[in-house]
Structure 1
Amino acid sequence: MTGDPEKDLDQHSAKEQVNDSNPDHTSQKCDIEATAGMAQGTSTPDPFVVDWDGPDDPHNPFNWTTFKKYRQLVGMAFNTFLTPLSSSMFAPAEADVLDQFGYHDNMLGAFAVSIFVLGYMVGPLIIAPMSELYGRVPSYHTCNVLFLIFTIACAVANTMPQLFVFRFLAGVVGSCPLTIGSGTAADMIVREKRAGVMAIWAMGPILGPVVGPIAGGFVAESIGWRWIFWIITIASGVIIVFTLICYRESYAPVILERKAAQLRKKTGDKRYRSKYDRGETPPQVFIRAMKRPFKLLFLSPIVFLMALFAAVTYGYLYLMFTTITAIFMKNYGFTQGTSGLAYIGFGVGSIIGLIISGRVANHIAKTHSAKGCFKPESRLMPMLIGCWFLPIGLFWYGWSAQARTHWIVPILGTGAFGIGLMCVFMSVNTYLVDSYLIHAASVTAANAVLRSLVGAILPLAGPSMYSALGLGWGNSLLAFISLALCLVPLLFKMYGERIRTYPRFQLSL
C-alpha cells in the first residue's frame, strides 16, 4: 500500500497473478491468505486498506531471508528450552529444600515443582492476547526480563511460601515462548516446512524438562539447590541479549497496523487502516482476544479433545518427574546426583520421536500439497502410530521398576514413553495451528491452559497413587487411560474435517 490508489490497485492485480504451478509459491500464497482470513481470489478495492505490497513484499515474514527466519527460530528454540528447563531442574532438590525450611510433607516438595507449571496455565491467557494486540516481540522481551527477576527472587527466597510465590510468577511469564512460539513459526514458515520447524521449537518443552533434572541433581548435590536458580539466571541473561539482537516482529496484523500508522502520520489522512482492522479499540481487541482461547477450548470439540490428550500426556511426564528420583534412589541405590541420569531415557526417546514425527509430517505435507489435497488432518499420521508408545512405555516402566529388574530396563520404558510423548505433542500443535492459522497464539494458549493445569495437579497424586497401587498397577492405570485416548487421533483422521467444518462449530473469534 503506497497511498497512490492506481498503484495500489496495480500491486493487488499483480498479487492475484501468482504462478499457481509452483507448489512452494502456492503454499506460501495459501498461508498468506489463510492468515488474512480471506478466501482465495477475494479483492480489496478500498485504496485505504493497507495490505502487503504484492506477493513478494520483503516485509511479509513469509518472504524474509532464510538467515533472518532461522536466526529468530534458533533464538526461539533456546528461549523455549530455558523455561521448561527451570520447571524441572528443581525436582531433584525437593528434599533439600524441605529440610532447609523445616517441612517433611512430600506433597509440598512435589508442589514446589508443579506450581511452576501452574503458572503456565495463567500466563497464556494474558500473553496470547497481548501478543495479538502489541506483537510477538514486545511479549518475548517483557516476559524474558520478568522471568530473570523472578528467578533471582527464587534464588534468594528465605521461606517456603516465598519460593512458592516466585516459582508461580516465574511460570506465568516463562510460559511466553511456549504460548506464542508455534504462532511465531506459523507467521514465517510455509506449511510444507512447518512441521520440521515446529520440531525444533518442540525440543524446548520436551527436552527442557528432561535435561533439567539431570543437571539439577548434580548441582544440588555439589553446590546447593540455590545455585540451580543462579545458573538459570545466568542463562536467562544470555538469552535476553541474544533475543534483543535477533528478534523481529513477525505477526502480520501488527506489522500492517504499524504500516498503516506510518501512512496516517506521513499523509495526515486518518482513513488508512490495516486490512485486519475491525474498527475496535485496543481494550475491545484485548477482551476479544482473552475470550478466544476459552471459546476454542470449550466450544470446539477438536481443540478440546486434542488438548485433553496432550494434557494427560504432559501430566504423566511431570508425575514421573516428581517421583522417579525417589524411586531410583530407593529401588536402585542411586545417589541424588546420579538419580538425574534416570531421565536420560525420556530425552533419548523424545529425540527419536522428534526426528521421526518431524520428517514424516513434512513429507506428508509436501506430498499432499503437491497433489492439492492437503488439509490439517494430514498432520495426524505420526500421532496415529506414535501414540501407542505411551501405554507401552507406561506398562514397561511400571512393572519393571516394581520387579526391580536391572535399572536400564525401566529407563528403556521411559524412552518408549518419550517417543509417544513427542509424536503426540508435535502432531497436536501442528494440527491445531493449521486449523486456526490466524489465531495460532490463541489456540496454542487454549492447549497450554489445559495441559498446564493437568501437569500441575496430576503430580500431586503420584506419591499417594504409587503407595496405594504400587508402581506396576499405578502405571498400568495411567496406561489404560492413555489407551482410551489413543482413539482420538483415529477419530479425527476419519471425521476431523467434517467436524471442523460443521456449521455448529464455526466460531466467531
Structure 2
Amino acid sequence: MVTTSENVVNDTSLMDEPEDKKSVRQSASTVIRDDKLSEGSVEQLDEWNVATALMSIDANHPAHPHHWPKWKKWFVTITYTLLETYIIWSSTAVINFVSYFQEEWKCSSQAAYLVQSLFILGNACGPMILGPMSDIIGRKWVYVISILFYIIFQIPQALAYNLPMMAINSAIAGICGSAAVANVASSMCDVFTKETVGLGMAFFVWGANAGASIGSPIGEALAEKNWRWFYWMNMIVGGFLVIICFFVPETLPATNVMNYAKKLEQNNLQISTLAKAKSAVIRAKFALTMAARIFVTEPIVAALGLYNGFAYGINFLYLDGLFPVFKYNYNMSYMHANETFLNFLVGVTLVVMLQPLQDWLYRRDKKKNGGVDRPEARFLMSLVTVWFFPLGLFWFAFTSSGNISWVSPLIAGGFIAVGDPQLWLAMLNYVTDSYPSVAGSAVAAFTLPSFTLAAVLVHLGAIMFNNMTTTWAMATLGFISLSLVLLIYVIYFFGHILRKHSRLAITQEALAERNEKHVEV
C-alpha cells in the first residue's frame, strides 16, 4: 500500500513546522498498516477486520502507552492488581460460610457450595462480553462500571434470606467482577513491551493468588462474628478502589492513538478505520462474538484454557483438602487452619521474585532467534516448575496423615504455590504475546474453560473429600496433574506450527513480512 501525503496529514501548515515536530506528526499518522484498509474495509468492516485494524497499531506511535513514564505504568499495575485481589478473595472466603448456609437455610453442602461455584462461573462468563468490549471501547470504563455493579450486588448478598437469592446474586456479582479477573492481563499488555511485560503480568498473577490466599482467613475471621459482614466490608473496600480507578488513565492503545489524532486534528484513512471500528453496530458485534470466535477457531487458546481449567480446579480441590488436614489431622483451630492458605501468598511472591530470571531467558532466546521473539519462550522456566505441581500434590498426600510434622504438608503446599501460579503466568504471557491486538478477547476465551471447569470441580471436591481419605483424594489429583504436564511440552515445541494457521496470532515474523509489502511516504 502506498500512503500518500493526503492520507497522512491534510495540513499545509506542516511545511513550516520544525523537522522534529513534523516527524512526530507523521509518526502519529502511520497508525495502521494493512492491505485490507485499501480495499474499502472502512465501509465494510466486520469483526475480523476490526481485529486486523487493532493488530496493526504501531507500537512506535508517540501516543502508545509503551512510551509512558515508569511511574504511570506502575500506577496502573498496582491499582489493577489490588482490584483483582479484592475480587478474587470472595471465591475462597465463601468456603467458610458453607456450614452457616447449611444451618441457616437447611440445605445440603452441595447446594451451599453453589454460592462459590456460581461466583466462579460468573467469572468465566463475564469476560466473554467484557473482554472484547474493552478491546474496542477502552479498558477504564469497563473496569469502573462493572465494579460499581459488583459493589451494588454485594447488598442483596448481605441481606439474602434464602439460598436461591444468595446464589443468583453471587453469580451476577461474579459476572460484574470478572473484568478485574480477565482484563487486568490485557492492561499489562497495553502498557508494557514484550521485553518488560513479564514483571507486570507477574503482579497480575500475584494479585489473583494473593486474593485466594487471604480470602479464607478473612472469611473465617468475619464468619465467627457474622458472615454477612463480609459483604458489607466488600462494599466499603470496593468503593475505595473505584474512586482510585477514576484516576487511572486509559490504557487501550487504539483509544490513545485516536485521542492523539483528534488533538492534532488529523483525519486520514487509518484514523477513519479506527473510528468506524468504534461505531455502535461493529462495537456490539465485536463484543458479543469475538471471544467466542477465538475460543472456537484458535486451538492454542482452547487447549491452554482447558489445561488451566484443570490446574485451577485442582487448585480449588487442594484448598478444599487443606482445611480438614490441618483442622482434624493436626488439631488446629479454625482460624489457624485457614491461615495455612497463606503459603500460597509466599509461593506466588517467590514467583514474582523469579520473574526476572524468566525475562532473561526470554531475551536470550530472542537473541538466539535473530532478534525475533517467540511466544513459546515464555514457557522456558515452566518446563521445570510445571513438575512442582504433581510433586507438591503427592508430597502433601502422603505426609498429611498427622503422623509427620505439620511443617511437611505445608512445605508441600509451597511447591504447589510456586508451580501453579508460575504456569498460569507463562500461559497468560503466551496468549497475550500471540494475540496482542485482541488481548482482552483472547484472555476471555482462555478464561471461559478455566473458570467453568474450576466451578465444576468445586462440587467434585466436596464429593471426593466426603468419600475418600485425604491421602487418596490428594494422590488422585497428583495423578491427574501428571497427564497435564505433557501439554506444556507440546506447546513449547510445536506451538509455532499452530500459530502459523491462525488468523489472529501475530508475531514479529508476520509483521515483518507484512510491512515489506508497504511503501510509506
Q: TM-score, normalised by structure 1?
A: 0.85
Answer with 6-15 or 452-461: which moved more: 6-15
- For 1:325, give the aligned amino acid: F
- For 1:133, give the aligned amino acid: I
CA deviations over 1:402-460 (Å, ceiling 9, x no partner): 46533222222211111111111100000010000001101100111111101111010
- What does residue range 311-326 of structure 1 map to in structure 2 within 5 Å? 311-326=309-324
The question of whether the paired residues in 2 share the 8 Å contact of 1:211 and 1:343 is answered with yes
What secondary structure sits across from 2:468 in the alignment? helix
Indicate the residue corresponding to 1:253 in structure 2: 254
1:367 corresponds to 2:368 = no
Indicate the residue corresponding to 1:23 in structure 2: none
What secondary structure sits across from 2:437 in the alignment? coil
Indicate the residue corresponding to 2:93 in structure 1: 89
The question of whether the paired residues in 2 share the 8 Å contact of 1:257 and 1:274 is answered with no
- For 2:286, give the aligned amino acid: R
- For 1:292, give the aligned amino acid: M
The alpha carbon displacement at 1:355 in A equals: 2.3
Answer with 233-242 or 361-370: which moved more: 361-370
Answer with 226-235 or 248-257: which moved more: 248-257
The alpha carbon displacement at 1:507 in A equals: 5.3
What secondary structure sits across from 1:132 in the alignment? helix
Indicate the residue corresponding to 1:379 in structure 2: 378
For 2:90 and 2:415, the matched residues in 1 are separated by 24
Change (3 A) 1:183 1:38: farther
Indicate the residue corresponding to 2:192 in structure 1: 189
Indicate the residue corresponding to 2:474 in structure 1: 475
1:296 corresponds to 2:294 = yes
For 2:463 and 2:140, the matched residues in 1 are separated by 43
The alpha carbon displacement at 1:508 in A equals: 9.8
Change (3 A) 1:380 1:174: same
For 2:466 and 2:85, the matched residues in 1 are separated by 33
Change (3 A) 1:508 1:365: closer
For 1:43 and 1:13, the matched residues in 2 are separated by 24
- For 2:435, give the aligned amino acid: Y
The question of whether the paired residues in 2 share the 8 Å contact of 1:218 and 1:340 is answered with no
Structure 1: gaps spanning 5 or more residues: 19-28
1:489 corresponds to 2:491 = no
What secondary structure sits across from 2:405 in the alignment? coil
Structure 2: gaps spanning 5 or more residues: 1-7, 44-52, 507-521
1:140 corresponds to 2:143 = yes
Taking only aligned residues, the RMSD between alpha carbons, in angstroms, comes to 3.6
The question of whether the paired residues in 1 share the 8 Å contact of 2:112 and 2:163 is answered with no
The alpha carbon displacement at 1:323 in A equals: 4.1
- For 1:168, give the aligned amino acid: A
The alpha carbon displacement at 1:2 in A equals: 5.5
Answer with 366-375 or 388-397: which moved more: 366-375
The alpha carbon displacement at 1:90 in A equals: 2.1
Answer with 430-439 or 163-172: which moved more: 163-172
The alpha carbon displacement at 1:72 in A equals: 1.4
1:102 corresponds to 2:106 = yes
The question of whether the paired residues in 2 share the 8 Å contact of 1:118 and 1:171 is answered with yes
CA deviations over 1:289-326 (Å, ceiling 9, x no partner): 43222222232221122112211111112223334333
- For 1:112, give the aligned amino acid: V
Indicate the residue corresponding to 2:79 in structure 1: 75
The question of whether the paired residues in 2 share the 8 Å contact of 1:191 and 1:365 is answered with no
1:429 corresponds to 2:428 = yes
The alpha carbon displacement at 1:13 in A equals: 9.3
Q: TM-score, normalised by structure 2?
A: 0.83
The question of whether the paired residues in 1 share the 8 Å contact of 2:130 and 2:287 is answered with no
Answer with 467-476 or 52-61: which moved more: 52-61
The question of whether the paired residues in 1 share the 8 Å contact of 2:330 and 2:402 is answered with no
1:64 corresponds to 2:68 = yes
Change (3 A) 1:161 1:260: same
Answer with 392-401 or 322-331: which moved more: 322-331
For 2:353 and 2:32, the matched residues in 1 are separated by 31
The alpha carbon displacement at 1:379 in A equals: 0.7
Indicate the residue corresponding to 1:173 in structure 2: 176
Indicate the residue corresponding to 1:22 in structure 2: none
Which of these residues, 303, 306, 310, is aligned with residue 305 of structure 1?
Answer: 303
